[in-house]
Amino acid sequence: AAIVALTMAFPTLADVLQIRKDAPKEYVVEKGDTLWDISAIYLDQPWLWPELWRLNPQIDNPHLIYPGDKLSLVYDSQGRPMLVINQKFKKLSPGVRKTMKKGDAIPTLPLEVIRPFLTYEQALSEEDIDTRPVVLGANKGFKTIDTDQIVYVKGDLERSQYYGIYRQGDPYIDPETEEELGHEAILVGTGRAFRSGDETNAAPSSVRVKNVKREIRQGDFLMPALEGQTLPAFFMMKRPETAISGTIIDTTSKLREFSTMDVVVLNRGERDALKAGHVLDIRRASPTVVLTSDGPKYKDAASRYERTMSYFGDGEDSREWKMPKEKVGELMVFKVYEKVSYAIVTKTLEPVRVGDTIHVDN
């Protein structure tokens, strides 16, 4: 694999780099490691990896680390941690590096590391979906369509072009404003057009189905296979330059709780200056407490009367105390639309849920 260089904004020197308590003093690089993997061994915030390597006088290019290299954790005169290649170990193992080809240098966080966990779902406006070619039916007249069948499509498709076949899903609704942010477009299959159509004369295009993720139905729509699916070979992982807050509004797994490498949907997008590679905190509000005649109670456990009375009073006389939001994980944005984004959960302190908030201070 080609060497992949990840350009990342360095944190300021004012940022304190905290080394994990269980971090080893030395580590031997293994085949399949990435700089992200190694940084996660030493840092609770792996996207700060340049801070761990950039102070290193022995490594002009930290991307050129090879399997078999032994790394040592040391501290400079100002007490700042850094990783260096253990030269003594290299002298004892002169053949290790010679056996490695240039292409064997370990990468940072290439797409291949997370691709198995990504989703092909997209977020499209209803107006956009309405303009797309539509599946009319199949050559065998079945209500559900399988691999190697031919589907007929209302729309002029390009011959030999591969297409994704999608189904319109539920709308994404902003829980704060109730604005419709778009519709989930669910990939159900792929196919290759072999006959162009002519809508003017009601002649359909013809597509041979190549792959089926779930049953294809009449009324599903088509998009060029790569449209909306082109992702960078690597991600420039960094914090947003401006403060941002929002909400996790859905997950592609549709589970109640989810964890590392699950994909979530955010109610923030291009219009909020969100970009692929942005790393955000996931936070959750602690349970609200109401003050009753019997003392503090969680709001959910209070009676209807006690909850009603909690609305009276403010400031130090308030009977309802809303607790702070605490961090429960981190995520990285990988696909951005105008009003929504898809992100992959990179770290969890406890299971993440729909309704948890995203947050970054500027």
Report the share of the chain in percent with pLDDT over 90. 41
- Mean of all residue pLDDT scores within the chain: 81
Model confidence pLDDT, tens digit, residues 197-209: 988 889 999 999 9
- Per-residue pLDDT at 5 exceeds 50: no
Report the share of the chain in percent with pLDDT over 70. 79
- Per-residue pLDDT at 43 exceeds 70: yes
- Per-residue pLDDT at 313 exceeds 70: no
Give the number of other Cβ atoms within 10 Å of residue 355's Cβ.
Answer: 11
pLDDT band at 100 (very low <50, low <70, confident <90, very high): very low
- Residue ranges per structural domain of the chain: 26-109, 117-224, 244-360
Q: Cβ distance 302 to 290 under 8 Å? A: yes
CA distance 49 to 2: 20
Assigned token pair, 9: 């904004």
Architecture of domain 26-109: Roll (3.10)
How far, CA to CA in Å, does 156 sit from each of 51, 139, 202, 305?
53, 18, 10, 64
Mean pLDDT of the region 85-112: 54
Report field, pTM of the whole predicted structure over 0.85: no
Q: Burial, 34: exposed, middle or buried (Cβ in 10 Å; 0-12, 13-18, 19+)?
A: buried
Mean pLDDT of the region 104-127: 72
3-state secondary structure the chain: CCCCCCCCCCCCCCCCCCECCCCCCEEECCCCCCHHHHHHHHECCHHHHHHHHCCCCCCCCCCCCCCCCEEEEEECCCCCEEEEECHHHHHHCHHHHHCCCHHHCCCCCEHHHHHHHCCCCEEECHHHHHCCCEEEEECCCCCEECCCCEEEEECCCCCCCEEEEEEEEEEEECCCCCCEEEEEEEEEEEEEEEECCEHHHCECEEEEEEEECCCEECCCEEEECCCCCCCCCECCCECCCCCEEEEEEEECCCCCEECCCCEEEECCCHHHCCCCCEEEEEEEECCCEEEECCEEEEHHHCCHHHHHHCCCCCHHHCCEECCCEEEEEEEEEEEECCCCEEEEEEEECCCEECCCEEEECC
| Of the candidates 258, 213, 2, 19, the residue with the CA atom closest to the CA atom of residue 105 | 2
How much is the pLDDT for 95? 46
Q: Burial, 329: exposed, middle or buried (Cβ in 10 Å; 0-12, 13-18, 19+)?
A: buried
How much is the pLDDT for 245? 94
Alpha carbons within 13 A on the beta-carbon side of 152: 14
